Structure 1
Amino acid sequence: MTESPAPRSTTPEAAESAPAPFTAADYRARMARAAESAAEAGLAGVLVAPGPDLTYLTGYRPTAITERLTVLVLVPGGDPVLVVPALEAPDAAKAAGAAAFTVRDWTDAKDPYAVTAPLLDAAGRFGVSDNTWALHLLGLQQALPGTSYASLTEALPMLRAVKDPHELARIAAAGAAADETYGEILKVRFAGRTENDVAADLAALLLGFGHSQVDFTVVGSGPNGANPHHEAGDRTIEHGDMVVLDFGGLKHGYGSDTTRTVHVGEPTAEERRVHDLVREAQQAGFEAVRTGAACQDVDRAARKVITDAGYGEYFIHRTGHGIGVTTHEPPYMIEGEERPVVPGMCFSIEPGIYLPGRFGVRIEDIVTLTEDGTGRRFNNTPREMALVE
């Protein structure tokens, strides 16, 4: 056993072929689909501020998000327009999708909302990206008091949900890198080290295997594992601890997210039973991914296993969430979500049992529905309990 992972200055990433970049045609198709979806939803258009939606639709990621208005305007039947501060215009013009949209800039001496207003129906209802600054939304409302707005999560929740083959390849690469990370972390000593130490190892490994961004490294040892979103802390991991490892980030612009629960030394019979139960629930959720299933069916299948075994009150979160250019996005695998699972949707299946003050267990894979109507996992490391030192 080593105290920490060996440095990985040379990794499989070096030999891995980077995916072909998305083209202006790709972004043009995405923007057209967003405008069409808006019309089908009864919206006059879509307004997209800097953030994951803008990156997904245009390939443009501003270097800084400030109080200056930057907004992509998509209206059915109209050409896409990106309104930007003049100082951003050169960078916007270089964006991968720039050939598919027009740049309209404004200077600090002008009112950006007055510049944007002529592009919008003065009495329309618009979908607005969730991370739009209130400052800008209020500015548009003042310039166009007859308009109204809805968040894109509410109005167009499936905007980014269905991935094309190029996106699926990126998610597969991110999942494989997370799997490599898990394989390496099993070689690391746990007992006597802090959760923060192991979390740092996970982050280094994700970056070593090609991630450009680490979003989270949850290390929940012993009683901390009973908190599903426990952040790694200074608790020293002890022999006899169950340890929840949940980690992920972005590779090639798309997310990874996987969870495995390991044990330091030999587990008790109860710990093995709970772990096996969660593994059975995770498998049931995966088997529910098929043509004709609704998102809630995945949740129901996993939850039934845990509830029937008498642990239902200790499964305290939804079974899954979508993943793509962000690690959490629609669709959600939860009771009441009747939206059908369709080919290309990518989402987690991550049931868990959390016994307060004692330990927790969670097992998570990213999954998609294939064109042949069956599920495909993007994480393929063993789901059986691994024993670590």
Structure 2
Amino acid sequence: MNKNRRLEELKARMQGYADYTIIFPGSNLYYLTGLDPLGTMERPFFLVVPDASSPFFIVPQLYWNELKESFSIRIWKDEDDPYTLLGEEIKNGRRLTIAVEDSLPVGAFFQLKKKFPDAEFKSINPILYELRLIKGEEEVDLIRRASRIVDQVFEELTKDSLMNMSEIEVAEMIINLIKEKGGDGPSFDPIVASGSNGSNPHHKPSAKKIIKGDMVVLDFGARFRMYCSDITRTVAIGNVSSKGREIYDIVLNAQENAFQKVVEGVGVNEIDLAARRYIEAKNYGEYFTHRTGHGLGLDVHEPPYITKTNGTNLKDGMVFTIEPGIYLPGKLGVRIEDDIHVSNKGRRLTEANRELLVL
């Protein structure tokens, strides 16, 4: 990762937009600097990017030794106010424009407003999203490795029946397998939704036992060197009802239709519409209650969002999920999700079996 290039790209896009950008710990900080998140809001720690001079960190003394060799830093002690130090560093007679992240904690924003009462504050998110939208080869490789991990987890998970296990037990098994297969951990809390629980797209695993006849939605992801994967498969336990088979086949075909739209230059909305229109044609449109996918990278949910109104055109290097689903209240749910890379070398990053498995 070339952190200097990324910071220079940010500065170039700041011209005429903001005098300073302030980045707090999180995925944007990692993207720009390669620095794992440090600190908490108890001890504020942030990167300051001026539009016309070199970036620097304001850090608590606790962390200075970890950064002194790689970055320009300004240190504050526990008895100091980091925002006063910030004010001294960027003090200017003219009215400033300061760009911050949308995820900035309210308390930190209040501190910035107090220190710079005349400043105009803007969101840096549109610029950062634009920078992060196209993944470089190194980033795609890390997402691919995270995707291989979840493929292996699904294969291992489905070697035996899940019958009589609780949803919580299966979720714990998934987390352990992710680490066993080389992941740093899950990219989000796994979803294990059996039987009627499957009709809740974001069901939290419960003590419910998985029983014969259940359809089970398994949605999980791995994190590998900070980058995320995200996969969903739906399996049947013991046997599958005719309704379950019907719904599964519709969702699988809807996903396949969406895959066919993954071509550079095509609008993102065409992917959503390809899946949505197929499900609507089968008279289940009202039960497809979410977007068709989302971007994937340092965050498990990031742009581009695969919605019917997103007119962004696909570009080489974009990575996102395609995950149509149908949810019948009180009965069952089916979702199938794969990670996609826009490339002339192929689309799918996740390659786990998509046929309906009966365990």
Flag whether TM exceeds 0.5 (same fold): yes
Please, what TM-score do these two structures have when normalized by structure 2?
0.94
Contact 1:153 1:330 in 2 (8 A): no
Residue 164 (1) aligns with residue 166 (2)? no
**Which shows bigger deviation, 270-279 or 74-83?**
74-83
Report the Cα distance in structure 2 between the residues aligned to 1:75 and 1:295, rounded to whole angstroms. Answer: 34
User: Any unmatched runs of 5+ in structure 1?
Assistant: 1-21
Contact 2:254 2:279 in 1 (8 A): yes
**Which shows bigger deviation, 376-385 or 73-82?**
73-82
Report the Cα distance in structure 1 between the residues aligned to 2:68 and 2:82, rounded to whole angstroms. Answer: 18
Contact 1:49 1:131 in 2 (8 A): no
1:196-236 deviations in Å (ceiling 9; x for gaps): 11111111111111111212211100000010100111011
Q: Which residue of 1 aligns with 2:352?
A: 381
Residue 226 (1) aligns with residue 199 (2)? yes
CA 249–39 in structure 1, closer or farther in 2 if over 3 Å, else same: farther
Report the Cα distance in structure 1 between the residues aligned to 2:251 and 2:216, rounded to whole angstroms. Answer: 14
CA 233–56 in structure 1, closer or farther in 2 if over 3 Å, else same: same
Give SS of 1:298's match: helix
Residue 331 (1) aligns with residue 304 (2)? yes
Report the Cα distance in structure 2 between the residues aligned to 1:335 and 1:146, rounded to whole angstroms. Answer: 40
The alignment-based identity, stated in percent, is 35
Q: Which residue of 1 aligns with 2:278?
A: 305
Contact 2:25 2:38 in 1 (8 A): no
Residue 116 (1) aligns with residue 89 (2)? no
Report the Cα distance in structure 2 between the residues aligned to 1:242 and 1:227, rounded to whole angstroms. Answer: 13
Contact 2:149 2:222 in 1 (8 A): no
- Kindly provide the amino acid, as one letter, of the partner of residue 380 in structure 1: E
CA 278–63 in structure 1, closer or farther in 2 if over 3 Å, else same: same
Task: For 1:1-389, list aligned pairs within 5 A.
Answer: 22=1, 26-39=2-15, 42-93=17-68, 98=70, 101-117=71-87, 118-119=89-90, 123-154=95-126, 156-214=128-186, 215-370=188-343, 372=344, 376-388=347-359
Q: Which residue of 2 aligns with 1:4?
A: none
How many angstroms does 1:155 deviate by? 5.2
1:13-61 deviations in Å (ceiling 9; x for gaps): xxxxxxxxx4xxx111111112223337x23332100111112211222
Report the Cα distance in structure 1 between the residues aligned to 2:64 and 2:327, rounded to whole angstroms. Answer: 50
User: Any unmatched runs of 5+ in structure 2?
Assistant: none
Report the Cα distance in structure 2 between the residues aligned to 1:264 and 1:120, rounded to whole angstroms. Answer: 65
Give SS of 2:190's match: strand
Report the Cα distance in structure 1 between the residues aligned to 2:165 and 2:37, rounded to whole angstroms. Answer: 40
CA 150–385 in structure 1, closer or farther in 2 if over 3 Å, else same: farther
Give SS of 1:318's match: coil
1:328-371 deviations in Å (ceiling 9; x for gaps): 1122111222222211111111010000000000000010111x
Please, what TM-score do these two structures have when normalized by structure 1?
0.87
Report the Cα distance in structure 2 between the residues aligned to 1:272 and 1:364, rounded to whole angstroms. Answer: 17
Give SS of 1:236's match: coil
- Kindly provide the amino acid, as one letter, of the partner of residue 9 in structure 2: R
Report the Cα distance in structure 2 between the residues aligned to 1:62 and 1:317, rounded to whole angstroms. Answer: 31
Report the Cα distance in structure 1 between the residues aligned to 2:229 and 2:91, rounded to whole angstroms. Answer: 37
Number of residue-to-residue matches in the alignment: 356
Contact 1:227 1:354 in 2 (8 A): yes
Report the Cα distance in structure 1 between the residues aligned to 2:123 and 2:167, rounded to whole angstroms. Answer: 37
